[in-house]
Structure 1
Amino acid sequence: MATSQPPKRQKTSPFELIYWPGAPGRGEHVRLALEAAGASYTDTAFIENGMKLVLSHIDAKNLGDASNPPLLAPPILKHGDLLISQTSNILLYLGPRLGLVPKDDEDGIYKINELALTALDGLSNEAHDTHHPIANALYYEDQKPEAKKKSEDYIKMRLPKFLGYFERVLKGEASKGGEWLYGGEMTYADLVLFQCLDGVKFAFPKAMERLEKEGKFKGVFGLYERVKGTTKIKTYLESERRQTYSLGIYRHYPELDED
């Protein structure tokens, strides 16, 4: 039975990140992977007419091409003739190409993807829903009472649940030492968790400070500092390429944080 072969792309083909300018957003997970690997890439957040390029890819009139279906929303990665979207899908593609998955573990990439998806579920998607619990099309000001209730539940129930899960992962045998989530080395799952934690720290600084001081999640907060302190990530975070949080996924409304 014949098997299809993946398309060959020149190693010299540049990675092109296509994402909104003005906030880290979901594209930040892709940036962190590229930065951690020291990869060369372009980013529409920092080029002239970048917004226009983003919009051209998601325009309702854009039907894609013979190899690429039309795309719904950024982040989008262009690599040679390949165009793909969805944060976790892009990372699944980049992981082995950037050395951010275990080399001698055939199934490891799926474990890494599992961990990244879990972090995105509980510490990105749910964090976003705290300030937009009813509808994305409504302004925050149109759903403030509901946002307050959602945030209280998130801080009390959901946030400890996900922090506790990743604490358990770090204590597990598959972590191989407790410094990284899987396999004893930094993978893109660690980068995703770092970014999610950083965003939640911005959105709920009081709640996260309390949870850190309680000492129940030392492994998780230790991983956060470990990623932050790696040479390439530290350099990136101190550069102008690291955009500041604003009205994106993570928003700081003091009234939604702990009193």
Structure 2
Amino acid sequence: MTFKLYYWDGIPGRGEFVRLALEEAGADYVDVARQPGGTGAMLKLMKDAGGATPPFAPPFLIDGELVISHVANILFYLGPRLGLAPEEEGLRHVANGLQLTITDCVAEIHDTHHPIGVSLYYEEQKPEASKRAANFLKERLPKYLGYFERVLTENPKGRKHSVGGQLSYVDLSLFQLVEGLRYAFPNAMRANEEHVPALLAMHDAVAVRPRIRSYLASSRRLAFNESCVFRHYPELDRQS
């Protein structure tokens, strides 16, 4: 059965975390909003999911009659079906916890450029964004990166993967997190990367996986841009 992924067209955003899992697994899926009339269909489903609980916002995934929203929830569902989650139930919950921590980090990254309100343009909240970004780069970014480094180095199955002994959706999401941070805060990342060698090694190993490498070189891989969660505003990266 074909999975249907719904997310805003033109930006990788949060939908990219799901795309990477689908691409790595070679899954049959449709990126609906990139099809003619897809965005309208997505907005219609957000109002009326045909008997299912409508999702509050994209990304969401439809598999048959199931409508599943939120990145971590989608990946918790897809992981076992795509062979991208540990077989042990306990470790699946560990993976979900790590993915939720990534979700928290992404939310804080978003708030560096939109600290007051999502309905306001960045230019309407630049002073607040500058303060928020400075705090994030000084305190939160090293804490998040250090945590994921520790998760890798303390994994009983080895430091190549974040949970268990095989590739999981968490590894793919950490790859995307590093990619996004390098785009949004290149100076800050250069200052922090020497402290997270295991995280970077895992990132590099994901990048050369055959299906991921092919995906990254394809037109399906959308470029980061200043409409995305990860945005590069040089003035916000100066504090590093």
1:182 aligns to 2:182 (yes or no): no
User: 1:233 is matched with which residue?
Assistant: 212
Identity of aligned residues (%): 47
For 1:252 and 1:191, the matched residues in 2 are separated by 22
1:128-147 alignment runs, 5 A limit: 128-147=110-129
For 2:142 and 2:212, the matched residues in 1 are separated by 26
User: 1:205 is matched with which residue?
Assistant: 186
8 Å contact from structure 1 (residues 120, 192) kept in 2: no
In structure 1, list runs of 5 or more residues that go unmatched: 1-12
Q: Which amino acid aligns with 2:178?
A: L
Partner of 2:89: helix, strand, or coil?
Answer: coil
Partner of 1:130: helix, strand, or coil?
Answer: helix
- Name which of 43, 56, 63 aligns with 1:72: 56
1:42-97 deviation digits (Å, cap 9, x = unpaired): 112431111111111113xx2x344x112211111111111111111111110000
| TM superposition score normalised by structure 1 | 0.89
1:1-259 alignment runs, 5 A limit: 13-59=1-47, 62=48, 64-66=49-51, 68-103=52-87, 105-122=88-105, 124-174=106-156, 176-212=157-193, 215-246=194-225, 247-258=227-238
For 2:76 and 2:89, the matched residues in 1 are separated by 13
Larger radius of gyration between Structure 1 and Structure 2: 1
1:145-175 deviation digits (Å, cap 9, x = unpaired): 111111111111100000000111111143x
Q: Which amino acid aligns with 2:123?
A: E
8 Å contact from structure 1 (residues 120, 196) kept in 2: no
User: 1:4 is matched with which residue?
Assistant: none
| TM superposition score normalised by structure 2 | 0.96
* Residue 200 (structure 1) shift: 1.1
In structure 2, list runs of 5 or more residues that go unmatched: none
Q: Which has the higher helix share?
A: 2
Q: Which amino acid aligns with 2:162?
A: L
CA RMSD of aligned residues (A): 1.2
8 Å contact from structure 2 (residues 155, 164) kept in 1: no
